[in-house]
Amino acid sequence: MKTPEGSPPPLSHPGHSAKPPWYFLVLLILAGESAFILPFVLSRVFRPTVLDTFGLDNTQLGLCFSVYGVVALVSYFFGGPLADKYPPRKLIAVALWMTALGGLAYATFPAYPVLRVLYGYWGFTTIFIFWAPMIKATRVWGGATSQGKAFGFLDGGRGLVGALFGTLGVLVFSWFLGSETTATLVAERREAFRYVILVSAALVALVGVLVWLFMKMDRNLEREIILERISMAQIRDVARLPAVWLLMIIILCAYVGYKITDVFSLYAQDVMRYDQVQSAQVGTFLLFMRPVVGVLIGVVADRSRTTFWLVVSFLVSILGALLFATGIITDSATVLFFLSILIVATGVYAARALYFAVMERGKIPLVLTGTAVGLISLIGYTPDIFAGPAMGFLLDQSPGETGHQHVFWMLAAFSCIGCLAAWRYFKLYGRPR
C-alpha cells in the first residue's frame, strides 16, 4: 500500500477487500506450530530423552536456546519490516522448508558446539523469515472485530498441532524403543528418537508446500497490507505508541511463563518419579490444554474486553506458580500435580492467545504490523536468551524438587510484573468501543 511520506498509515483492517477464507487460518495454524516443532516442541515433550541422547545437562540445553534467542533478537528487528514488504505466504513457506532442512542435521545428533550453531540457524529461519508474517496474516484474518478469535484460534490451534506432533512423536518413540523403556541403552533411545526427528522434519516440509500452494489472499487486500518502502518516520511513529512499550513488558513476562512449561516433563521425572515415556506423556498432556484454552479465551475475549482477560490470565499464572513453588506437590499427590498443571497452563496459554490480540485496541497500524511486531519482540522475546540458562542453572544448582521450586518462584515473579503491565494496558485501552 502506498502512503504519502509522513502521512499516518491506516489504523484498522481494510474494510472493502475480501477477508481471507477459513482455510487460510487453518494453514496459518499448521505453519505456526510446525516451525517450532524441531527447535522447541520435541525438547519440551522429550526433555529427558534430549538430555540423554545428546549428552547434555540442563544448562547446556538452556545455552542452545540462548544462541537461538540471540539470533532471534536481531531477526525480530530486521525481519519485522520484511513482513510489511512481501506477501506472508511466500515468507512462511520458505521459512518452513529451511527449518525442515535443519532437522536433517539435528537427526545426526551433532556435538554440542554444532548443536548451538544449529539453534542459531533455527533462530534465523523461524524468526527473521517467519514470525512477523505469521502475526500480520493472523491480524488480517481477524479484521477489526475478531482479533480475539483470530489469535485465540491461532494459539489454540498451534497447541493442538503441537499436541498431535507430540503424540505422534511419543508413538514413534515407543514403537522403536519397545516395551522395556527403563532398561534401554542410550544408543537405542537415540535411534528411536532419530525417527521422531525425521518424521517431524518431513511433516514441516509438507506444511510448507501446502502454505505455498493454498494460503493465498485477495489481491486487492494483499496490496493494501504491503508497503513498497518503509520510512524511518513511520518506524519512529510506531515506536512512540504506548501500546508498543507495554506489550514489550507483557509479552516478555508471558513468554517466561511459556518457557517454564518446558520443565513439566522433567518435573514428572525428577519429582513424580515417572519414566521417560510417562514424562513425555505429561508434556503431551500439557500441549492438549493449549487448544482448549486458546479457543475458549478467544471467543470470550471478543464478547467482552480482550484487555481485561489479559489481566486475568496473569492472575491465574501467579496462582499456579505458587502451587508448585511452595512445595506442596509431592510424588504421592498425583491429582494435585495435574490440577496445578491445568491452572498454570490456563494462565500461560490464555496470555499467549491474547497478547497480540490487543494490538487492535492499542491502535497499532495494520499496515505496519510487521514493523510493530519486530520492535515489540525485540524486548518481548528476550526470554529466548535468558530463560533457558536461568532455568538450567536453578535446576542444576539445586537438583530435584528444590530446583523446580526455584523455577516456579521465577514464574510467579514475572507473572506479577506482567499483571501490572496488563492492568495499565487495560486502563489505557480497555474502554468499550
Structural domain includes residue 127 = yes
How far, in whole angstroms, is CA 116 from its chain's centroid? Answer: 20
Structural domain includes residue 113 = yes
Query: pLDDT per residue over 29-80, tens digit each?
Result: 999 999 999 998 888 778 888 998 899 888 888 889 889 988 988 898 888 7
Structural domain includes residue 371 = yes
Structural domain includes residue 14 = no
- Mean pLDDT taken over the chain: 84
Average pLDDT over every residue of 224-230 = 64
Supply the range of the domain harboring residue 252: 22-429
pLDDT (0 to 100) of residue 3: 42
Average pLDDT over every residue of 232-238 = 77
Q: Is the pLDDT of residue 355 over 70?
A: yes
Residues constituting the chain:
433
Total domains in the fold of the chain: 1
Structural domain includes residue 359 = yes
The grid coordinates of residue 357 equal 490480540
pLDDT band with cut points at 50, 70 and 90 for residue 231: low
Classify residue 362 as exposed, middle or buried by CB count within 10 Å of its CB (0-12, 13-18, 19+). Answer: middle
pLDDT (0 to 100) of residue 15: 47
pLDDT (0 to 100) of residue 16: 44
Task: Compute the distance between CA of residue 141 and CA of residue 29 in angstroms, rounded to an integer.
Answer: 12
Is the overall model pTM greater than 0.85, yes or no? no
**Structure-model confidence comparison of residues 193 and 226, the more confident one:** 193
Structural domain includes residue 145 = yes
90-94, 212-216, 257-261, 265-269: least confidently modelled range: 265-269
Q: Is the pLDDT of residue 293 over 50?
A: yes
Structural domain includes residue 4 = no
Structural domain includes residue 16 = no
Query: Would you say 135 and 373 are in contact if contact means Cβ atoms under 8 Å apart?
Result: yes
Q: Is the pLDDT of residue 301 over 50?
A: yes
Query: pLDDT per residue over 326-352, tens digit each?
Result: 988 877 777 898 899 999 999 999 999
Which domain CATH number covers 382?
1.20.1250.20
Query: pLDDT per residue over 166-197, tens digit each?
Result: 888 888 888 887 655 554 677 888 888 999 99
Torsion angle (degrees, nearest 10) of CA 209, 151, 69, 270: -100
